[in-house]
C-alpha cells in the first residue's frame, strides 16, 4: 500500500509539471529574440539582439545621430563558442577606419545601401547582396558613398571583436559620452591581440 501511495504522489507531481509546461529540474527557455547563453539557438528579427550605441572619439562631429550596432550571436548571445555575428547601419558619408583582424576571418554581407569596400589592395563598389570576404590579417575599410544608409551584417570565425564593440559602446538608451584619445588608445591596446586599427 505504501508503494502505491508513493507512486501516486510521484505521478501527480509529473502531471502537474507537464500541465505547467516544464519538466522537473529544467529551467524554461528564454523567449526567442532575447540574449541567452544557452546553446538552444536563437531566432532574431532584424532589429533584435544586443543593441549598442558606439561612443565617438572626442572632437568628432557626426552629421547624423548614431544608429545602434547589434551583436546577434556570440558567447553571450546564443552561446556560440566561436562564431560572432552582428548587424550595423552606416550613415551616408561614414567610413569604417582601415583595420585588420589578426585571428579571425570576416565576411560582410550588404543588406541595403551602396558604398565602396577595400580589401588589401583591391577596391570595388558594393550594393545590396554584395559579399566581402576578409581573410585574417588583411586590411579592410568600408565607406558608405551613397545617399542612403547602408546596412551590413558581419560574421567572424573567432571571437574577439565583439568585446571591442562592447568596450567602445554603451547599451542603447544609455548616455554615450565621447571617448578621449587616451581612452580610445587604451581600449585599442587592450584588444590589440585581435584587432589593429591604422592611425587616422
| Rounded-to-10 torsion of CA 192, 187, 133, 118 | -100
Nearest to 55 by CA among 143, 193, 172: 172
Tell me, what's the pLDDT at 52?
97
Nearest to 179 by CA among 188, 190, 63, 161: 188
Q: Would you place residue 64 in the very low, low, confident or very high pLDDT band (cuts 50, 70, 90)?
A: low
Give mean pLDDT, residues 47-71. 84
| Rounded-to-10 torsion of CA 9, 11, 12, 13 | 90
pLDDT tens-place string over residues 129-145: 999 999 999 999 999 99
Q: Which has the higher per-residue pLDDT, 67 or 11? A: 67
The mean predicted confidence, pLDDT, of the chain is: 84
DSSP one-letter code for 77: T
pLDDT tens-place string over residues 27-56: 333 334 445 566 689 999 999 999 999 998
The three grid cell numbers given for residue 122, joined into one nine-digit string: 583591391
Whether the per-residue pLDDT at 118 is higher than 70: the answer is yes
Contact at 8 Å (CB) between 198 and 101? no
Q: Would you place residue 57 in the very low, low, confident or very high pLDDT band (cuts 50, 70, 90)?
A: confident
Domain extents in the chain: 1-30, 31-197
According to CATH, the superfamily of the domain at 31-197 is: Jelly Rolls (2.60.120.10)
Amino acid at each position: 500500500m505504501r508503494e502505491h501511495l508513493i507512486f501516486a504522489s510521484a505521478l501527480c507531481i509529473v502531471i502537474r509539471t507537464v500541465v505547467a509546461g516544464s519538466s522537473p529540474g529544467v529551467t524554461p527557455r528564454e523567449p526567442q529574440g532575447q540574449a541567452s547563453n544557452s546553446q538552444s539557438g536563437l531566432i532574431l528579427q532584424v532589429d533584435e539582439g544586443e543593441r549598442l550605441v558606439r561612443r565617438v572619439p572626442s572632437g568628432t562631429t557626426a552629421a547624423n545621430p548614431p544608429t545602434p550596432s547589434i551583436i546577434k550571436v556570440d558567447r553571450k548571445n546564443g552561446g556560440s563558442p566561436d562564431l560572432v555575428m552582428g548587424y550595423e547601419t552606416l550613415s551616408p558619408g561614414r567610413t569604417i577606419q582601415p583595420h585588420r583582424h589578426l585571428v579571425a576571418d570576416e565576411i560582410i554581407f550588404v543588406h541595403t545601401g551602396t558604398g565602396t569596400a577595400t580589401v588589401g589592395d583591391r577596391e570595388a563598389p558594393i550594393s545590396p547582396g554584395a559579399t566581402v570576404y576578409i581573410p585574417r590579417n588583411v586590411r579592410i575599410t568600408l565607406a558608405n558613398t551613397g545617399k542612403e544608409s547602408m546596412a551590413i551584417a558581419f560574421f567572424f570565425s573567432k571571437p574577439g571583436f565583439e568585446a571591442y564593440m562592447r568596450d567602445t559602446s554603451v547599451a542603447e538608451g544609455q548616455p554615450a559620452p565621447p571617448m578621449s584619445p587616451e581612452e580610445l588608445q587604451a581600449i585599442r591596446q587592450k584588444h590589440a591581440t585581435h584587432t589593429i586599427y591604422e592611425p587616422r
